[in-house]
């Protein structure tokens, strides 16, 4: 395939009300795409739609973690009279802290949104994406490249996204469908508010601008790449993880992510 333009394409973006999703919507609209904005907050989605060029944004309100959400989104998009060329599966969240410190329902919600919704949306929209010779962008995370203690379920969901994306790329690339998996590191979004008390402090470091992450993702998609890690440091870390045992990698990450009260005294 050759480099692509987003002008004239219909792009569905999940988690579009804030953070990376909002940045995806803004960048795609600037590039001439019509964006279909999907999230739970009608107020935020409508405010974003008003800020984008007239006629280039449509709003679909949905709780993607709810059973049957993907089918309802598909019906809502059809009711708008739109097809989907590109699907951006961005919606997701993570929880920080000991695994036993969270109710099972909260852990399940991460799986429902980060994995189940992503798979089901891919499934319902893929036939028309293939007909339109479009593509899919999945948002994973550097947390998916190795076990992530104190964010165990989140890291596991992102490892799923990485594996699922690579498999889909191999299946769909010969059929003319692009599949890109983008893996950001720490990014300046509301992620840390949802992750829980102490996450911002323990997961310290310079946080990337969402617009920069999106620019990396769109350039990689346009260049027909299958995977991209945002940021040189993140890319180096994910590469280095290949040379460690998973147990050793988990121990290293645990020292970086453990809540302060979970860190044993050193002396």
Rounded CA separation 95/143 (Å): 12
Over 146-209, what HEC string results? CCCCCCHHHHHHHHHHHHHHHHHHHHHHHHCCEEEEEECCCECCCHHHHHCCCHHHHCCCCCEC
Give me the catalytic one of 154, 191, 192, 221: 154
154 in catalytic set: yes
Q: Which residues of 95-118 are buried (b: 16+ CB within 10 A; e: fewer)?
A: bbbeeeebeeeebebbbbbbbbbb
Rounded CA separation 244/241 (Å): 5
- The owner of tokens 């350039």 is 219
Whole-number Cα distances in Å, 150 to 167, 184, 196, 237 = 28, 19, 11, 19
Catalytic residues: 154
């Amino acid at each position: 395939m050759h480099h692509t333009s987003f002008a004239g394409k219909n792009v569905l973006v999940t988690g579009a009300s804030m953070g990376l999703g909002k940045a995806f919507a803004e960048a795609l609209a600037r590039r001439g795409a019509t964006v279909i904005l999907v999230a739970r907050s009608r107020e935020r989605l409508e405010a974003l739609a008003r800020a984008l060029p007239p006629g280039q944004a449509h709003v679909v309100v949905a709780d993607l973690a709810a059973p049957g959400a993907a089918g309802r989104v598909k019906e809502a998009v059809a009711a708008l009279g739109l097809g989907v060329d590109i699907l951006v599966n961005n919606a997701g969240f993570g929880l920080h802290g000991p695994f036993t410190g969270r109710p099972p329902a909260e852990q399940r919600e991460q799986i429902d949104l980060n994995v189940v919704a992503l798979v089901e949306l891919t499934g319902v929209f893929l036939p028309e994406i293939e007909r339109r010779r479009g593509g899919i962008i999945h948002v994973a995370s550097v947390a998916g490249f190795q076990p992530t203690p104190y964010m165990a379920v989140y890291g596991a969901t992102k490892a799923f996204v990485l594996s699922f994306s690579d498999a889909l790329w191999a299946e769909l690339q010969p059929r003319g469908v692009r599949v890109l998996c983008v893996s950001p590191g720490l990014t300046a979004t509301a992620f840390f508010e949802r992750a829980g008390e102490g996450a911002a402090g323990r997961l310290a470091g310079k946080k990337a601008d969402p617009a920069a992450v999106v620019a990396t993702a769109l350039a990689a998609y346009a260049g027909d790449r299958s995977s991209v890690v945002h940021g040189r440091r993140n890319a180096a870390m994910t590469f280095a993880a290949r040379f460690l045992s998973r147990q050793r990698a988990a121990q290293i990450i645990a020292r970086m992510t453990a809540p302060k009260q979970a860190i044993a005294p050193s002396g």
